[in-house]
Amino acid sequence: MSHTILLWSVTFAQICLATAMALAALRMSRGPRAQDRVLALDTLYVNSMLLLMVFGMRTGKVIYFEASLVMGMLGFVATVALAKFLMRGEVIE
Amino acid sequence: MSTIEHASELPAWAALLVSFFLVVGAGLTLIGTIGFVRLPTFYERIHAPTLGTSWGTGGIVMASMIFFTVLATRPVVHEILIGIFVTVTTPVTLMLLARAALHRDRTEGNPGVPAEGPVQSPGESVDAK
Amino acid sequence: MLPYPLLSASLVIMWLALNGFTLGHLILGCIVSVFASWGMAALRPVKPRLPKWYLLPKLVSIVLYDIVRSNIAVASILLTGRSKRIKSGFITVPLELENPTALAVLAVVVTSTPGTAWLEYNSLNKSVLIHVLDLVDEEAWRVLIKTRYEALLLEIFE
């Protein structure tokens, strides 16, 4: 019983997050401006982080948690660097 | 569809709770991204991903915490780190992106953007805290 | 030796929570926290003063409640297709807060609530530019931010 509920909800969450990633990729390809693409990249990073956590629950391995933490950190640094680049035209002043 | 072998000894109440948080979190993230595609301007689009970063992340973090805590019968707090991290970093990225967009729109003279307030000295921008 | 005792203590507790409680991890966590607090001291941040820290749970509960409420509001706006017709816009809110820590907390609160985004703070005329997704009444939003969050933050930090 509990196994069936869990299986369906985990599958539902995975489908939702994968669709969300596809939509963010659509916005990234459509633009129209650079800031939209950077925001889409940030959303893509957050969604992939969440998808990795759900994947960790599905497989029961804690290693996915660390992967998602690294993913979140990379996403933050990448977005900050790109935003600075958009504002000043250079990353490190 | 494969099975979740390691979760067979999870009690029913925990399974229901985990499923509820998972569905809420993933659903909110999806709704936020749908809005991200549908909204017409950049400044409106900046609101859409906050759905995924506030209760989308919160729900999935909560589900994962309950899941691993009940299975391993000891408190697992690793996920709190992700929650804190996302809560602290999202405002920073959104604020930087919004300021970059404002700056670009102002220098290009696009309509619909409020003018810049008085600054301390020319060439030196006022830092947002 | 320990310039930030609270920071060091919470680092040790976090280290033990993540790695499990053993004597080796206790020693390793203590070493890491000492070096981390030296690194923090080298950055010379302004020490935040919290004279009324007991009001923080009240702020957290208000913010969590507001996040849930505005999540539902924004989700319903996005789902029912009102996104084509809603009127969004910029508002400037004059602030009395000057403490940088309090301003940072306010920025986190405003941005993590869906539907409002903190854009930029002007320290010369002490006002902040905020973008609101569902802007029905400008004055109501101004009053909301000033009375609901700023008054409490002023009380906590000053």
Interval B12-50: pLDDT, tens: 788 888 889 999 899 889 988 888 888 888 888 888 888
Bridge-based pairing of strands C127-132 and C116-122 is antiparallel
pLDDT tier at A15, thresholds 50, 70, 90: very high
Question: Which residue among C75, C119, C120 places its CB closest to the CB of B28?
Answer: C75
- Name, in order, each residue with C-beta under 8 angstroms of C10's C-beta and a sequence gap of 6 or more: none
Q: Is residue B2 assigned to a domain?
A: no
Q: For chain A, what percent of residues have pLDDT higher than 90?
A: 15
Chain A residue closest to B59 (CA)?
A: A50
Q: What is the CATH number of the domain that holds A21?
A: 1.10.287
Is the Cβ–Cβ distance between C97 and C105 less than 8 Å?
A: no
Number of structural domains in chain A: 1
Q: What DSSP assignment string belongs to B53-116?
A: IIIIHHHHHHHHHHHHHHHHTS---HHHHHHHHHHHHHHHHHHHHHHHHHHHHHHHT-TT-PPP
Contacts of B99 (CB under 8 A, 6+ apart): A83, A87, B128, C119, C120
Which B residues 4-43 touch A at CB under 8 Å? 4, 6-8, 10-12, 14-16, 18-20, 22-23, 25-27, 29-30, 32-34, 36-37, 42
B 55-74: CB under 8 A from A: 56-57, 60-61, 63-64, 67-68, 71
Taking residue C16's Cβ as centre, other Cβ atoms within 10 Å add up to 15
For chain C, say whether B30 makes contact (Cβ under 8 Å).
no
| DSSP track, A40-55 | HHHHHHHHHHHHHHHH
SS3 content of chain C, % helix, strand, coil (to 5): 60, 10, 25
pLDDT at C155: 78
Domain count, chain B: 1
Residue B128 inside a domain? The answer is: no
pLDDT class of B117 with cuts at 50, 70, 90: low
CA distance C119 to C142: 15
Nearest-CB residue to B22 (from A9, A40, A49): A9
Residue-level pLDDT at C95? 80
H or E element, residue C131: strand C127-132
Residues B23, B63: Cα–Cα separation, whole Å: 9
- Which pLDDT score, from 0 to 100, does residue B124 have? 45
B16 contacts A53? CB cut-off 8 A: no
Band of residue B110 on the pLDDT scale cut at 50, 70, 90: confident
CB contact under 8 A, A3 and B99: no
What pLDDT score does B122 carry?
Answer: 45
ipTM over 0.95: no
Is C78's CB within 8 Å of B34's CB? yes
The full set of domain ranges for chain C reads 5-42, 53-157
Mean pLDDT, chain B, rounded, equals 78
At residue C157, the pLDDT reads 75
Which pLDDT score, from 0 to 100, does residue B123 have? Answer: 44
List C130's β-bridge partners, or say none. Answer: C91, C118
Cross-chain Cβ contact A53/B82 below 8 Å:
yes
- Between CA A56 and CA B64 the distance in angstroms is 9
Question: Is chain B touching chain A, with at least 3 CB–CB pairs below 8 Å?
Answer: yes
Confidence check: pLDDT of A2 > 80: no
Decide which of C65 and B4 is more confident. C65
Sign of the CA dihedral with A33 first, then A35, A38, and A42 last: negative
Residue C104, chain B, CB below 8 Å: the answer is yes
- Given a contact as 3+ CB pairs under 8 Å, which chains touch B? A, C
pLDDT along chain C (158 residues), means of 10: 78 81 86 86 72 78 86 83 70 80 83 82 80 79 81 77
**pLDDT tens readout for residues A23-55:** 999 988 887 888 888 889 999 999 999 999 888
Using alpha carbons, list the distances in angstroms from residue B45 to A6, A43, C19, C51, C88.
33, 11, 40, 38, 11
- Domain annotation covers residue A93: no
Q: Decide which of A31 and B83 is more confident.
A: B83
Work out the mean pLDDT of chain A and round it to a whole number.
85
pLDDT of residue C1: 64
Predicted pLDDT of residue A18:
93
Contact (CB<8Å) B43/C88: yes
Question: In which band, very low, low, confident or very high, does the pLDDT at B125 lie, cut at 50, 70 and 90?
Answer: very low
A22 band by pLDDT with thresholds 50, 70 and 90: very high
Secondary structure of residue C94 in the 3-state scheme: strand
CA distances from A28 to A35, A41, B32 (A): 10, 7, 15
Instruction: Mark yes or no for CB contact C78/B43 under 8 Å.
Output: no
Which residues form the domain of A19?
2-88
Question: Do the chains A and C touch each other, judged by at least 3 C-beta pairs below 8 angstroms?
Answer: no
Contact B36, A23 (CB under 8 A): yes
Q: Inspect the interface and report whether the beta carbons of B64 and A35 lie closer than 8 Å.
A: no
Band (A87; pLDDT cuts 50, 70, 90)? confident
pLDDT at B61 over 80: yes
CA-wise closest residue to B67 among B24, B27, B11, B1: B11
DSSP string, C98-125: --HHHHHHHHHHHHHSTTEEEEEEETTT
Q: Name the residue among C123, C125, C133 with its Cβ closest to that of B44.
A: C133
Please report residues of A whose CB lies closer than 8 A to that of B77: none
Q: What pLDDT is stored for residue B63 in this prediction?
A: 87
Nearest neighbour of A50 by CB, restricted to B29, B68, B104: B29
Show the domain range for B63: 11-108
d(CA A83, CA A78) in angstroms, rounded, equals 9
Contact across the interface for B129 and C114, Cβ inside 8 Å: no
